[in-house]
């Protein structure tokens, strides 16, 4: 146990020093856009490194005195926050509810947009949020991971869509804009560079989220196609993949060809291997007569 604690401390230290994990985003024109009195929308993830129930999606609208936010937890709870504009440019807003409060700076980089966060009297939760075109428009997949041989090595594994519809299987698909990985030691890795898929059941190259029926419930997950990805964690490359098929029923994961059902997504890092799982049961499968149903035994055909 002492070795494990020491190793996590080293990981956290390396992570804090690694240039590979510096979180950046272009925000040069954001303040000017907000000054034109148009609402700016953000979608993201909320979590805590030691509390699995304190994990969910967050949506933020920056619109002067009409600013608002909501957190949708994996347990089905939805907490709404009212905004209080802190500067006349409306770039910084303080949000509060009966469960907590936080300050959101729309002009900051995504790793530092949220400060002074308190939720249920806990002050060390985290938020990662990206700008999207419409309120609630960015698809979000909430997930978790753990090591095969040591389940105590675990954390959250979430994916954010960019909110822009692409032509995949008709509609309701978005490119993955960011993957957020955390660990119980407290580090947060934000990877904004998804690799193109080589092969896979979609034929590549896009890595994307897909909501075939357009009805992902509060706290629910879309499908995701993310074959053979890499992420730098503490300067060491992690290899991973997640093919999660919400359209095929509860907790359906498939291989890279979408022809074989598997137990989970996978990851490997620094000599460790483990699984990636969606955080909640998916809705019941579509009926055989539903036009949106996809046969797991047949590769998908792009339009």
Candidate ranges 23-37, 154-168, 191-205, 218-232; pick with highest mean pLDDT: 154-168
Please give the model's pTM, rounded to 2 decimal places: 0.77
Candidate ranges 7-21, 136-150, 201-215; pick with highest mean pLDDT: 136-150
Mean pLDDT throughout 132-160?
92
Of the two residues 5 and 273, the one the predictor is more confident about is: 273
Confidence (pLDDT) at 42: 95
Instruction: Tell me the pLDDT band of 170, cut-offs 50, 70 and 90.
Output: low
Q: Has residue 240 got a pLDDT over 60?
A: yes
Of the two residues 289 and 222, the one the predictor is more confident about is: 222
Q: Per residue in 67-125, pLDDT tens?
A: 999 999 988 889 999 998 877 766 899 999 999 999 999 988 877 899 999 999 998 99
Mean pLDDT throughout 116-135?
92
Q: Has residue 64 got a pLDDT over 70?
A: yes
- Number of C-alpha atoms within 13 angstroms, CB side, residue 159? 31
């Amino acid at each position: 146990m002492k070795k494990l604690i020491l190793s996590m401390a080293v990981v956290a230290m390396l992570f804090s020093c690694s240039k590979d994990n510096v979180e950046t985003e272009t925000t040069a024109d954001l303040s000017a856009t907000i000054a034109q009195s148009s609402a700016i929308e953000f979608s993201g993830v909320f979590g805590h490194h030691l509390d699995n129930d304190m994990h969910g999606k967050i949506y933020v609208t920056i619109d002067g005195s009409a600013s608002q936010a909501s957190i949708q937890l994996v347990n089905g709870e939805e907490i709404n926050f009212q905004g209080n504009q802190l500067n006349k440019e409306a770039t910084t807003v303080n949000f509060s509810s009966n469960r907590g409060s936080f300050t959101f700076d729309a002009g900051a980089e995504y790793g530092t947009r949220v400060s002074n966060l308190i939720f249920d009297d806990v002050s060390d939760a985290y938020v990662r949020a990206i700008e999207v075109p419409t309120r609630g428009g960015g698809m979000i997949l909430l997930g978790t991971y753990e090591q095969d041989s040591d389940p105590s090595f675990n954390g959250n594994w979430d994916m954010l869509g960019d909110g822009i519809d692409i032509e995949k299987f008709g509609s309701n698909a978005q490119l993955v804009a960011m993957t957020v990985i955390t660990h119980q030691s407290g580090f947060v890795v934000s990877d904004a560079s998804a690799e193109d898929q080589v092969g896979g059941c979609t034929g590549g190259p896009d890595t994307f989220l897909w909501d075939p029926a357009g009805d992902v419930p509060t706290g629910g997950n879309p499908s995701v196609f993310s074959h053979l990805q890499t992420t730098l964690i503490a300067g060491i490359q992690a290899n991973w993949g997640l093919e999660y098929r919400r359209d095929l029923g509860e907790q359906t994961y498939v291989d890279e060809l979408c022809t074989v059902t598997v137990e989970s997504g996978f990851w490997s890092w620094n000599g460790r291997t483990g699984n990636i799982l969606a955080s909640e049961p998916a809705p019941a499968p579509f009926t055989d007569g539903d036009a949106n149903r996809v046969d797991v035994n047949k590769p998908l055909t792009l339009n």
